[in-house]
Amino acid sequence: MGKTEQLEQNFLAERTDRPKWLIFNDDGKPTAVNYLKLADTILKDNPMAVVPFGDDMNYYLYNGINWEQVKRETGTNILRTC
């Protein structure tokens, strides 16, 4: 076992707050990503999207089910609080 692999194993063994979206094998090494859980985590942290449209910007807010287009004032206020 190389030095890098040993460091990885030590780090993973000490880490207790593993992300729920990362899938580990029996050895404790990450093997895959659960993209649905990753997307859910990202949306909980950043539920706002700004999309350029022509000469303007459209603001969308994720409400847990779908994306709603919001007014510019609402979108900029939400972005300031993030």
Claim to verify: residue 24 and residue 12 sit in the same structural domain: yes
- Tell whether 39 and 52 lie within a shared domain: no
pLDDT at res. 82: 59
Model pTM? 0.47
Please count the structural domains in the chain.
2
Q: In which region does residue 59 sit, left (phi positive, over 0), alpha (psi from -120 to 50) or beta (all else)?
A: beta
Q: Could you tell me if 65 and 54 are in contact, meaning their C-beta atoms sit under 8 angstroms apart?
A: no
Q: Is the distance from CB of 61 to CB of 67 less than 8 angstroms? A: yes
Based on the fold, state whether residues 6 and 37 are members of the same structural domain.
yes
Same-domain status, 73 and 53: yes
Task: With a cut of 50, list the residues of the chain below it in pLDDT.
Answer: none
Strand ranges inside 1-82, DSSP E: 22-24, 30-33, 48-53, 56-62, 67-70
Q: Are residues 1 and 22 in the same domain?
A: yes
pLDDT for the residue numbered 64: 74
List the one residue out of 17, 18, 1 whose CA is nearest residue 9. 1
